[in-house]
Amino acid sequence: MAYRYENMKRWLTSLNPRFPLALIGVLFVTWFSPVYASDPPPDNSPASVSVRVYLSEDAVPIDDPESSAWDSVPESEFNLAPQVHWPDRLQEATVKSVKVRGLHDGQTIAIRVEYQDPTQDPADAAALEFMVGDQKAHFAHGQEMLLVEGGPVNIWYWKNETGKATDMSAKGFKTLKPQTQQDVSAKGVWVDGKWTVVFSRPLLTSDEEDIQINPGTWTSVAFAFWDGKLVDGAVKEKGSQKAVSSWWSIRAEPAPDNSIFGYVVLGLMIAAAFEFFLVRKLRKGQAV
């Protein structure tokens, strides 16, 4: 036992003073990093593909769908299908998929959708749908399913003909209505067979019918698109005739939590104090 004690004394007194500090620092970073990790919902959750709305230090480009600010934002792509659940059904939709990017600056959120549409028509339209509150809702306007009442949804609707967005609410088919308080804006650009539309809104509003977007919190989102091309004198897709997605997940990324660095500094200070006390005591014992 005495042999082991003497060996430990010699090892501690010979250590480079920076070694314990570095070790403690690594342990603190390793320990606390997972707490602040930004992970999507688990793979076994209802939505395993997500849209990350990235935090920007600059104002978000709400009026410019083709701004270079979008170039560095990672995109998520979602397949779409014709709406066949309820009349009037659609057997084949023009829009097959949508690419989605998101930015926010802590106050305003901007969600950019990009999709192929061969022709630019007045009745072309796009929509984002959000599940409001904790009550589960069907992606088709919150429609009730199997005698279970659907929850409310908030829909951001844009139409080329008007060039602007409408903030809407629904709780099932035939309940869709514009909200009294309008908080959503949108800007669309069509170039070479492709629509790019940016929806924007404050993250938080005073409207109880709105989705409240709290950074760091996952919520559900769905997408819908209409091809307004005239076929035999009639609009090809309108009303329930549209390309749709199911629910997916979306989250506005929170601001970095730098408190982890405070813990690291505290750990380094504790390690330094402990090292100073222990090494001094051991060296004092050797002198005796």
CATH of the domain at 69: 2.60.40.1190
Cα–Cα nearest to 176, from 222, 142, 138, 137 = 142
pLDDT band at 250 (very low <50, low <70, confident <90, very high): very high
Q: Assess if residue 141 is contained within a domain.
A: yes
**In this model, does residue 145 exceed pLDDT 50?**
yes
**In this model, does residue 25 exceed pLDDT 60?**
no
pLDDT band at 133 (very low <50, low <70, confident <90, very high): confident
Strand partners, 112: 101, 198
At residue 12, the pLDDT reads 45
Q: Assess if residue 41 is contained within a domain.
A: no
pLDDT band at 280 (very low <50, low <70, confident <90, very high): low
Ranking 92-101, 144-153, 199-208, 279-288 by mean pLDDT, the lowest is: 279-288
Q: Are residues 231 and 155 in the same domain?
A: yes
**In this model, does residue 261 exceed pLDDT 60?**
no
Q: Assess if residue 39 is contained within a domain.
A: no
Q: Are residues 90 and 187 in the same domain?
A: yes
Q: Assess if residue 64 is contained within a domain.
A: yes
Q: Which residue has the higher pLDDT, 264 or 144?
A: 144
DSSP 8-state code for residue 145: B
At residue 27, the pLDDT reads 36
pLDDT in tens, 7-22: 445 554 554 544 444 4
Q: Are residues 273 and 214 in the same domain?
A: no
Q: Are residues 216 and 272 in the same domain?
A: no
Q: Assess if residue 227 is contained within a domain.
A: yes
Sign, CA torsion 236/238/244/250: positive
Q: Are residues 138 and 54 in the same domain?
A: yes
Q: Assess if residue 145 is contained within a domain.
A: yes
CA atoms of 245 and 140, how far apart (whole Å):
9
Q: Which residue has the higher pLDDT, 177 or 89?
A: 177
Q: Assess if residue 40 is contained within a domain.
A: no
Provide DSSP, 81-134. EE--SSSSP-S--S--EEEEEEEE-SSEEEEEEEEE-SS--TT-EEEEEEE-SS
At residue 275, the pLDDT reads 66
Q: Are residues 205 and 132 in the same domain?
A: yes
Q: Are residues 102 and 237 in the same domain?
A: yes
Q: How many helices (H) and strands (E) does the chain have?
A: 3, 16
Q: Are residues 265 and 237 in the same domain?
A: no
CA atoms of 36 and 16, how far apart (whole Å):
32
Q: Are residues 21 and 108 in the same domain?
A: no
At residue 239, the pLDDT reads 92
CA angle 167–102–51, rounded 5-degree value? 95
CA atoms of 249 and 130, how far apart (whole Å):
10
pLDDT band at 231 (very low <50, low <70, confident <90, very high): very high
Number of structural domains in the chain: 2
Q: Are residues 17 and 134 in the same domain?
A: no
Q: Are residues 65 and 91 in the same domain?
A: yes
pLDDT in tens, 181-230: 999 999 999 999 999 999 999 999 999 999 999 999 999 999 999 999 99
Q: Assess if residue 166 is contained within a domain.
A: yes
CA atoms of 102 and 47, how far apart (whole Å):
18
**In this model, does residue 164 exceed pLDDT 80?**
yes
At residue 258, the pLDDT reads 54
pLDDT in tens, 48-71: 479 999 999 999 999 999 999 999
At residue 207, the pLDDT reads 97
Q: Are residues 272 and 137 in the same domain?
A: no
Domain containing 9 equals 2-34+258-287
Q: For the chain, what is the mean pLDDT?
A: 81
